[in-house]
Amino acid sequence: MPKLDLSALIAEAGGRHRTATEFVEATLRTGILTGRLRAGTPLRQEDLAASFGVSRMPIREALRQLEAQALLDFVPHKGAVVTEISAADAADIYAIRLALEPAVLERSIPHLTETDFERAGDLIAEMDGEEDPGRMGELNRRFHMTLYGAAGRPKLVALTESYLASFDRYLRFQLAAKGRAHLSQEDHREMLVAAKQGDAKRAIAILRRHLSAAADNIAAFFARQE
């Protein structure tokens, strides 16, 4: 396998970063999000340290941050590799979510309690102040499941949660690519208000809009890469 050549990416990144870790993380993130570092590309610590002219410590920390953003995976016997995600897989996950989540939300709303509403509101507030992509994915999943959890259909709820967990890596990827503005907290707030009012029809309409917009965003991202 030819040696990974990062010289052009490093030159373009310049010296505007405060720490070596920030420089490495930002340079590799740009390479991944622009498609110049393709899915499956191995990112070996020793090669990266040599390319960037730094020790392995900032390399390890930068790779950890990129893993939290779902931009790379750690594979046994290979180490870090650029994550394998695709437009087709993302479209499948969104199609499944659009089929499952409105159904479970409709069943859940009549049985939600004030405690559920308070918990959902607290999770929105936590997301407002959260910077870590991995934690953001967890909070997003917990918010949705708080509104779905009273559906009275344990297998349906469990299936819905499993696809939300599958979606987590795409959420983290999109946050890395587009920033926090991608996660529509306004939709979350409107959905919660509708649920509190017992207006399942409106809550479902907001949920569908929320999921459709996210699906369009990720499809557009992959189209730009191609």
Q: Could you report the per-residue pLDDT of 8-41, keeping only the tens digit for each?
A: 888 877 666 678 899 999 899 888 888 788 888 9
Two structure tokens written together for 86? 């695709």
Q: CA torsion 101→107→108→111, rounded to 10°? A: 170
Residues 93 and 19 in one domain: no
pLDDT at 116 over 90: yes
Residues 112 and 43 in one domain: no
Residues 6 or more apart in contact with residue 37 via CB below 8 angstroms: 9, 28, 31, 43, 82
pLDDT at 88 over 70: yes
| DSSP letter string, 29-89 | HHHHHTTSS-TT-B--HHHHHHHHTS-HHHHHHHHHHHHHTTSEEEETTTEEEE----HHH
End residue of a domain, out of 82, 106, 132: 82
Distance CA 41, CA 60 (A): 17
- Say what the pLDDT of residue 17 is: 65
Distances (CA, A) of 24 to 43, 54, 82: 12, 9, 14
Contact between 57 and 48 (Cβ < 8 Å): no
Residue range of the domain that includes 35:
7-82
Q: Determine, yes or no, domain membership for 64.
A: yes
Residues 111 and 173 in one domain: yes
Q: Determine, yes or no, domain membership for 164.
A: yes
What is the total count of domains within the chain? 2
Two structure tokens written together for 21? 């870790």
Residues 196 and 135 in one domain: yes
Q: Determine, yes or no, domain membership for 2.
A: no
pLDDT tens-digit readout, 49-64: 999 999 999 999 999 9
Residues 27 and 100 in one domain: no
pLDDT tens-digit readout, 128-154: 988 777 788 889 999 999 999 999 999
pLDDT tens-digit readout, 181-225: 666 789 999 999 999 999 999 999 999 999 998 899 888 878 876
Residues 36 and 144 in one domain: no
What percent of the chain has pLDDT above 90? 54
- Say what the pLDDT of residue 106 is: 97
Query: Domain of 18: which CATH number?
Result: 1.10.10.10
- Tell me whether strands 79-82 and 72-75 are parallel, antiparallel or unpaired: antiparallel
- Say what the pLDDT of residue 183 is: 67
Q: Cα–chain-centroid distance for residue 18?
A: 26
- Residue 163 backbone phi and psi in degrees, to 5: -80, -30
What percent of the chain has pLDDT above 70? 93
- Say what the pLDDT of residue 1 is: 46
